[in-house]
Each structure stands twice: as C-alpha cells, then as structure tokens.
A and B are shown apart, each in its own frame.
Chain A
Amino acid sequence: MTAMEFAQFPILSAILFSTLLALLVILFIPDDRPKLVKQVSLGFAAVGLALSLYVYFAYDPHKGGLQFVERVLWVKSLGIYYFLAADGINVPMILLTAVVLFTGVLTMWELDKRVKEYFALTYLLVAGVYGVFMSMDLFFIFVWYDVSLFPMYPLIAIWGSTRKEYGAMKLTLYLLAGSALILPGILYLWAVAGGTTFDLFELQRLGFDVQVQRIAFVMLYLGFGILAGVWPFHTWSPVGHVAAPTAVSMIHAGVLMKLGAYGILRVGMTLCPEGLVYWADLMALLATIGIVYGAFVGLAQTDLKYVIGYSSVSHMGIVGLGLSTLTVDGINGAVFQMFSHGIMTALFFSAVGYIYDKTHTKMIPELGGLSKTMPKASAFFILAAFCGIGVPCMSSFWAELLVFISAVKTYPLRGILAVSGLVVSALFMLRVVQKTFYGEKNPKWEHIPDVPLFLASPRIILVGILIFYGLFPRLILDIIQSAVVPFVNSL
C-alpha cells in the first residue's frame, strides 16, 4: 500500500463506524460475559484512539483547511450530504473524545451492574459525539447531536447516584430544549439560502443578510449554549454531573459540553459572523457571569462532584469568553481550553470516582486527610485542581492565558472581572483540596487500599497529557491556529 492510497482511506468514517460496530458487537455478547464486554470495549476504544492519533499526526497544519474529506450526497431533494472532514478545530476534539472514551472505559473496569447495556449506550453516545465533531453538514451535525444526547438519560438514570432520576430527566429536557432552538435555526438558514443544501461551506459561500444572521445566531448560540453550560442555562449541568456514574461524568463534562461550544463555533460563528458581531457583547457578558458565578457557587459546595460541576460552568465560561473576543488569540485559547478542560474534568471525575467507589461518599466534611491513606489517588485530584486553577506547566495555563489576554484587550472591565473569578476559583479549589486531602485524618478510611496501577492507568494518561501540552503548547496550538487564522481573517 502506498502512502497515497492510505490517504484515500476514509479514516474519519472508520473512527465513527468503529464505535457503531463496537455497539453492535457488544449487543451480541451474551449477558453472562461481562468481562468480555469490557475487553471488547477497551479494544475498540484503543482502535479509536489509535486512529485519532493518526489523524492528529497526519493532519498537516501548514496546509491547513479541510483534510480527510469524505462527501456523498445523501438526500437529493433537500441537499443533504454525508460530509466528514477534519480541520484545525476538530482534530483536537476528535483526539479528546478518543482519549476520554479510552480512559472512561478503564475507569469503569470494576462496574458490575448491567455491564453490557452500559457499554453499548456509552458507544452510542460517543458515536454521536464523533459524528458532531466530524460532520460538515448541518443535517448530520444535528442528527449526531441528538444521538449523543438521549443515551444520557438511561446512563444516568440506571447507573447514577444522588437523585439520579431527577438529574437525568432535567438534563435530557434541558438539552432537548436546546435542540428545539438549534433545529429551527439550522432550517431557517437552509430555507433562506434557497433550500438546496445543508453543506456548511456551501452555505457559508452563499452568505446571509445581516438580519437573518442576527436571528439565526441567537437561536444557535442559545441552543448550543445550553449544552455548553452558558449561564443562566447551566443548571442541568452540576445536577447531571453529580447524578451520573463516573465515566459518564467524564464523557459528559469532558466531551459533551464541548459539543455545545464547538457547535457555536462551527455552525453559529461560521455561518453568521455578522450575527456574532452583533451578539458578541451579550456572549461576553454571559460568559463572564458564568465564570464568576461558577466560582462563587463552587465555594459553597460540600459535595466533591458539585464542586467540579460548578468549576466546569466557570471553565466553560472561559471558552465562551474566548470565542466572544473575535480575535485569533481568543479563539485559539477557547479551542485549546475546550481540549484541556475536557482532559482536566475527565481527570477530576475519574479521581473522585475512585474515592467514591471506596468510601461511598463524596461529601467533603466526611472525607479528610485522604492524602495520608491513599496518596496516589489523592495526587490525581490535586493535580487536576492545579490544572483547574491554571498553574503554569499545565495545559490550561496557556489556554486561559490566551483567553484572558485577548479578553482584557477587547472587554477591559469584563476581562478583569473574569480574571478575578479565576482567583475565587483558585480559592475554592485549594479549600477543597485542603479539606479533603489534608487536615485531620478520618479513621474510617484508614483501611482503604491505595489505587493499584491498573486502575490508576487512566488517570496517569490524563495527567500525562495535561503536563505534555503544558510544556509543549505549540504542538496543539499550531493545528488549532491553522483553522482559526483564516476564520478570523474572513470576519
């Protein structure tokens, strides 16, 4: 096989359909073989990871633009295309998804309740996520978006904890309400453009009136924004995170919330740049409120998962702020933040998951002094907390730095407010770390063994990635920039 032929291989479809194949294979494994289900899941996750890594390394940032393009006409009369492609924005997202899936499967290695259904639904969810990240056709973006949402309901309601049915229903209805705005937004743009194509780039070429862009953008922004945890539509997110089982929280906070931000960027900002200019002020305002509000509410929480949930609201606010600046640095930082926040929250939830599995509590006052009984398990959480605060040498540092520099330039007051929100979030993270892992040792937890190497492996991978990109941010920023620079120039 020559290199040329390999380039023609539909690698994005391969990633996407490997997850659907995994789903089918898992469904046909007998119920009484949970071990086999886990092995098959891990195998497919590894394949997905390998293929995503290939995409990541094979993507040529100097050439930029769309690569690995696959485009087939799907429904003729409406102009729907099966159109997959990779560019600088979605390459990191595809990698993120693969990493979180792989580590998520490892994290759930000890699951023993309805194992087959759990992994089948996880793969359905991930198929939806991959689909959204790869598709360049509005119809398919929406379809995959919905596919990724509805497995959340059973995943939380069956395997969750802490008011799981309430959390699951709230999350599902909120997110579906979001798609109730996205679908009209998409169809509106399609209809205004003549009703002949759903191809994102053809629509971009056709262009829209300023008025149309303003209406469509606000629908898309609010619709996708609900999933991105934009204040004041974030309330589903902490509740959902808390109720969900560990790996679902990882996928959910790590990847699914990114779909929202990605949707705003990919659909809203690409098709409605004028609308973005018009609404950027509001976006920046909501994002800043989200950053500050998330930090303050996080300060008052006593449940570890709620703490992470609110810190996610705060961190996703940073993504929103970065997008709203409309500068190369801001959007670069936002996309980078999407990536590093995804890895970081996955690490957070994975670390809490282990603690919860062993102690059966995630209430901060009941824990305490854990670093003495299980130093390794604690270390992962503490590292994640450092990353959340934005300590240098961690990937979030660069992302947040880029966003805040451009935010202070574009919106001085809001930028400074947002930075101060970060200080509060540092306060609450350190408070949590201190109360949970240092201080008085709770004798109840003394017998608990520290995390063994195999179970720690997902967290080791995640920490490794955070530090790697903290030390070599250019390796990912070059790719992101190859898409962002032409995008900002076209505004």
Chain B
Amino acid sequence: MMKWTLFTPELYYVAVASVFFLCSLEKKADPRRLYRWAVILAGVGLAVTVACARMEGFLFFDSYKVDLFSQVFKIFLALGMFFVTMVCSELYGIEPRKHAEFYFLLSICTLAMMMLVSAVELLTIYIALELSSYSLYLLVPMRHRADEYVETGIKYFMVGATASALMIFGMSYLFGITHTTYVADIIRKLPEVLNQPAAVVGLLLALGGFFFKQALFPFHIWAPDVYQGAANQVTTYIATASKMAAAAMVIRFVGMSTGQSEVFIQVLVALSILSMTFGNLVAIVQKDIKRLLAYSSIAHAGYMLIGILCMTQRGYSSAVYYALAYLVMNFACFMVIIKVAPDGHNLQIKELAGLHKRSPLLAMTLMLALFGLAGIPPTLGFTGKFLVFAAALEKGYLMLVIIGMINATISLYYYLIVIKAAYLLEPVREYGPVRVDPWTRVMSAALVIAMVYVGIFPDRFVALAEAAVSVLP
C-alpha cells in the first residue's frame, strides 16, 4: 500500500481530469469559474509534485521508476501545466462550451507525460506516449472556427501516427535483439550488440517518436502549421510542457547506447546540425510570430540534442537545465502573445508595433525572453547554451560548437526583428490597448526576475540538474 504514495502526482492529475470530466457533462459551465478552478487545481498540482520530488522506488512490476530524474521532469510538467492554465483567462480561441473538455484533455495529457518520464519499459513508454499524443490530437483541432484550420489537425495526426509507427517498429528491433522490453536490461545488453546495424536502426527509429514531439529535423514538418493552427493556449502547451517530456525521453533513450556506437553519435550530430540550421534559416522569413517560434523550437531541439549526444553526466545535466530554461523563456513569449491578442487570433509580428508604449512590462518580458532564446547573457538562456556547449567541448566537438554558435548568431537576427517591432516601429494602425490585469503583472515580473536570477546565479539549478541525471543508469 505504501508504494502507491509514489504515484501521488499521477493520481492527483487523474482526480483533476475526473473533475473536469464531470464539469464537461454539465450543460452550462461558467468559463470564469472553470478558469479559477483550473488555476487552483494546477497550482495545487505543482505543489503536490514538488512535495513528491524526493521519492524513489519502482512500481508495476518494475516498469515504472520514480527517481529524482523523473520527479524533476514531473515538476517541469506541472509547472508547464500551471503556466498554461494561468493564461487561459481569455480563452477565446476555443468555444466556451468546450472549455471543460479543454481542461480535461490538458490534465490527461499532463498525466500521460508524467507517466512517460517515469516509464522504464518499452510498452509502458509507448502507451504513455500515445495517451499524451491522443490528447493533443484532440486539443489541436478544438480551435474556434476549426474548419479554417482543419488541415492542422489532420497533419498533426498523420505525422504523429507515422512517427509512432516508426517508433514501435524500432522498439520491436530492440526487443528482437535484446529479448527484453525493460530499459535497464536493454542498457546492459545493448553494448555487446551495438555493432549490429539493426541495433542502431532500432534505437534511432525508437527515438523518432520523441524527435517528433521535440520537432527535431526531420520530424519537424508539423510544427509550424500546428503552432499556427492550434489555439494560442494549446500552442503554448505544445511548445512548453510537451517538449519537456520529449527531452526527458530522448535523454533516456540516447543513454541506452552508452556512447558505444560511433555511427549513432554521428547521426545525432548530423540531426542536431540540420535541425539548428534549418530551423534558424527558415525562421528568418516568418511574418506570423507563432510560426517564427515554431521554427525557433526546431532550432532549439537541435541545441538541446548537442548536450544529450555528449552522453556524459555533464551533457545530460546541461540538457536538463536547457529544458528548464526553454520552458520559462518560451512560456514568457507565449504569454505576451496571448495578452497582445486577447481575442485569440494569430498574432503577426507587425502587430507588436509600439508595444513598449502600450505595455512596457510585456515589452520588457518579451525582450528578455527573446534575448534568452538567442542566448544573450545575463539570461538563463545564455547559461543553458553555455552549459550545453561546455559539455560538447569536453567531448571535443569543437566544430559542432562553432556551428551551434553561428546558428545562435543567425537566430539573433530574427529575434531582433521581433524586438524591433516591439520597441522601434510605430503602429501602422491603431491597435486596441493591451489589457494587463494585476495577475499578469505579477506573472511578468516573476518571469523577468526568474529569467535573470537563474541566469546570473545558476549554481543551485546546475546542481539540481546534475543530481537529477546522476540517477540515470
């Protein structure tokens, strides 16, 4: 019975999902009331997850491992969920009568991803991944006037299903070679057989499912359309929380190879370079800010992979730190987008014109977040890149780091275009005033402080990331 306490965060989110499921049965649920409940429940969820951070143990015939690594990522996920519900006060992208379902699917998705980061058995992993994917397949086309964005939902589903198929195919290879579905056993047996092409292919295909979630090249094609087509809040969730789970799983799966296979590393290096370069180059020409962030997320998946492919403790911990940094910075961007486009339309970059007058606080939040994404100190984005590149150089990947830095320079160009719009351009027509409620003020200020504080005093967070990855096999 004691064992079930290990499962507390997940159980909590099951309960939250049930609450919203019941609400969705009600005919006329008041959106304001639902929003308040969602924020409170997500906030409590974050507290519950943090409280369970130090738990350790196995569940379900050892296919479910609770350790610091999984708990840290669960905190990231709960934080992401909390962030997203916070910006749902003006959920005009989704019809009011569907709000309860929206929160229900959001909780289910968070639950699924929490299970994903704890799962250490291939089938459990697959089931958790599919559960989270299916919630997202439903969330994406939920947008108001969905017929305009019908392509989005289908595209997301098709690409997602293909990635899942590749993944389960890869997993079957891994099972075929090692005769086990337990990650710990695979790690033990894989080094002997890693010289076989089938093992490398299996591992890479299995990674495909998570690369899809991370929007890593070549599994990125859904990202721009889905970012643009989904409601702003759903995009925020995909861009923040969903990336965390993917990062955790990529770390776990790449760790399976234990750095034994040269080919495997080279493929990852190539994917990372392609992802960074492609994402950054295409982002330059974007006019829609969500599309721009979609391409930037492709690039960031590449940066994160640099840390992971080092396959050292330092590399993994840098990726964990980077994931946290990315969560905060990306959320800050999306929060500004949602507040500047309260009716839920797709924000164009030029609509940010004169933001520094309309709302200085939001403009500053956006600027710091974008500088963070570009890797300019003293933000946590810089520290993240610094750690990732430091880890890569310890392994001697000098060229990779230089390419990464050149990419960071390219990315600065399009981030600067957005900052220029917010700070320099005069609006061509009168845009409505940006309504910033006190709650948003507090959030903005907290994000600004967090971005700078964690950037300047990274010591404790680096130590946490290192402790988290130290439990990896």
Q: Chain A: residues with CB nearer than 8 A to chain B?
A: 74-78, 139, 142-143, 146-147, 150, 153-154, 157-158, 165, 169, 172-173, 176-177, 179-181, 183-184, 187-188, 190-191, 195, 215
Cβ of B268 under 8 Å from chain A: no
7 new A-B contacts, CB < 8 A, other than A75-B458, A191-B390, A195-B314, are: A76-B459, A77-B463, A143-B382, A146-B377, A181-B405, A184-B389, A187-B389
Q: How distant is the Cα of A195 from the Cα of B396 in the complex, in angstroms?
A: 12
User: Which of B68-76, B194-202, B406-414 lies at the interface with chain A?
Assistant: B406-414
Residues of B within 8 A of A181 (CB): 402, 405
Q: Shortest beta-carbon distance, B101 to chain A, in Å? A: 44
B424 close to A165 (CB less than 8 A): yes
The reply to whether A172 and B416 contact each other, CB–CB distance below 8 Å, is yes
A334 to chain B, nearest CB (A): 28
Which residues B396-449 have CB closer than 8 A to chain A? 396, 398, 401-402, 405-406, 408-409, 412-413, 416, 419-420, 423-424
Complex CA gap A413/B416 in Å reads: 45
Given known pairs A187-B390, A191-B394, the reply for A157 and B412 (CB within 8 Å) is no
Contacts of B390 in A (CB 8 A): 78, 187, 190-191, 195
Residues of A within 8 A of B462 (CB): 75, 77-78
Residues of A within 8 Å of B376, CB to CB, are: 146, 150
The residue that A188 contacts in the complex, of B371, B398, B416, with Cβ under 8 A, is B398
> Could you say which residues of chain A place their CB within 8 Å of the CB of B393?
184, 187-188, 190-191
* A173 neighbours in B (Cβ, 8 Å): 409, 412-413
Residue from the list B389, B413, B416, B463 in contact with A183, Cβ < 8 A: B389
Kindly list chain A residues whose C-beta atoms are within 8 Å of the C-beta of B408.
176, 180
The 7 residue pairs across chains A and B that have the minimum distance between CB atoms = A180-B405, A191-B393, A143-B377, A187-B393, A184-B401, A191-B394, A176-B409
In the complex, residue of chain B having the shortest beta-carbon distance to the beta carbon of A114: B356
* With known contacts A169-B416, A173-B413, A177-B409, A158–B423 Cβ distance under 8 A: yes
Task: Please classify the interface of chain B as helix (H, G, I), strand (E, B), loop, or mixed, using the class held by over half of its residues.
Answer: helix
| Bound Cα distance A143, B401 (Å) | 17
Sample (18) of A-B pairs whose CB atoms are under 8 Å apart: A77-B459, A77-B466, A142-B377, A143-B382, A153-B416, A157-B424, A169-B416, A173-B409, A176-B408, A176-B412, A177-B406, A179-B405, A181-B402, A187-B401, A188-B398, A190-B393, A191-B394, A195-B390
B394 contacts A172, C-beta separation under 8 Å: no
Mask: chain B, 353-390; 1 = CB below 8 Å from A; 0 = not: 00000000000000000010000111000100011011
User: Which residues of B approach A to under 8 Å, CB–CB?
Assistant: 314, 371, 376-378, 382, 386-387, 389-390, 393-394, 396, 398, 401-402, 405-406, 408-409, 412-413, 416, 419-420, 423-424, 458-459, 462-463, 466
Whole-angstrom CA separation of A184 from B391 in the bound complex: 11
| Residues on the B chain within 8 Å of A143, using CB | 377-378, 382
Closest-by-CB residue of A relative to B396 is A191
Question: Closest CB-CB distance, A174 to chain B, in whole Å?
Answer: 9
Cβ B463 vs Cβ A180 within 8 A: no
- Given known A-B contacts A77-B462, A177-B409, A180-B409, A147 and B398 have beta carbons under 8 A apart: no
Give the contacting residue for A172; candidates B386, B412, B424; CB below 8 A.
Answer: B412
Q: For residue A409, give the distance in angstroms from its CB to the closest CB of chain B.
A: 36
Hey, which chain A residues are within 8 Å of B409, CB to CB?
Answer: 173, 176-177, 179-180
A187 and B306 alpha carbons, distance in the complex (Å): 15
Contacts of A215 in B (CB 8 A): 398
> Shortest CB–CB separation between residue B306 and chain A, in angstroms?
12
Give Cα distance in the complex from A139 to B463, angstroms: 18
Centre residue among A142, A143, A215 by max chain B CB count within 10 A: A143
Q: How far is the CB of A262 from chain B (nearest CB, A)?
A: 18
**With A154-B423, A188-B393 in contact, is A147–B405 under 8 Å at CB?**
no
Q: In the complex, which residue of chain B has the Cβ closest to the Cβ of A139? A: B386
- B-chain residues with CB within 8 Å of residue A177 when the two chains form the complex: 406, 409
A75 / chain B contacts, CB cutoff of 8 Å: 458-459, 462
User: Cα distance A75–B463 when bound, in Å?
Assistant: 9
Cβ–Cβ < 8 Å partners of A169 in chain B: 413, 416
Q: Please name the residue on chain B nearest to A169 by beta carbon.
A: B416
| Other-chain contact of A146, B382, B394, B413, B416 (Cβ < 8 Å) | B382
Q: Is the CB of B402 within 8 A of A180?
A: yes
Q: Which residue of chain A has the shortest Cβ distance to B410 in the bound complex?
A: A173
A187 to B390, CA, bound (A): 6
Select one of B378, B406, B416, B424 contacting A147, CB under 8 A.
B378
Instruction: From the candidates A153, A165, A176, A183, name the one contacting B386 in the complex (CB within 8 A).
Output: A183
CA distance A191 to B397 in the complex (A): 11
Residue of A nearest to B401 (CB): A184
CB distance from B198 to the nearest CB of A (A): 34
Contact (Cβ within 8 A) B378 A74: no
Q: Roughly how many angstroms separate A341 CA and B406 CA in the complex, as a whole number?
A: 31
